[in-house]
Amino acid sequence: MEKSEPTDSSWEYTTLRPPRGDTKKEAEDPTDEMNELAAKGWRLIETIDYTGGGTKFLVFERPASSAADRSQNKRQS
């Protein structure tokens, strides 16, 4: 199978593990981290939960950009 170039409908993904407090049982508020991701074009699309309850990961997506765009964004971050 031949590898195709990204199209306008290509997406990239990242995850955020909600920060844990001292007890390691309850998540602290991840608002600051989520706002940082949102400022970079990421949007929350899903949560992955532990079997017994609680959020393990927050899943974000944004449109995939070209290699040149990603390189420029890294320099600005």
Q: Domain for residue 62, yes or no?
A: yes
Specify the number of domains making up the chain. 1
What is the reported pTM? 0.65
Q: Domain for residue 27, yes or no?
A: yes
Contact (CB, 8 A) for 6 and 69: no
Q: Domain for residue 3, yes or no?
A: no
Q: Domain for residue 35, yes or no?
A: yes
CA dihedral sign, ordered 19, 23, 24, 27: negative
Q: State the pLDDT confidence band at 9, using cuts at 50, 70 and 90.
A: confident
Q: Higher-confidence residue: 54 or 56?
A: 56
Q: By residue range, what is the domain housing residue 69?
A: 11-76
What pLDDT is recorded for position 52?
77
Q: Domain for residue 1, yes or no?
A: no
What pLDDT is recorded for position 66?
55
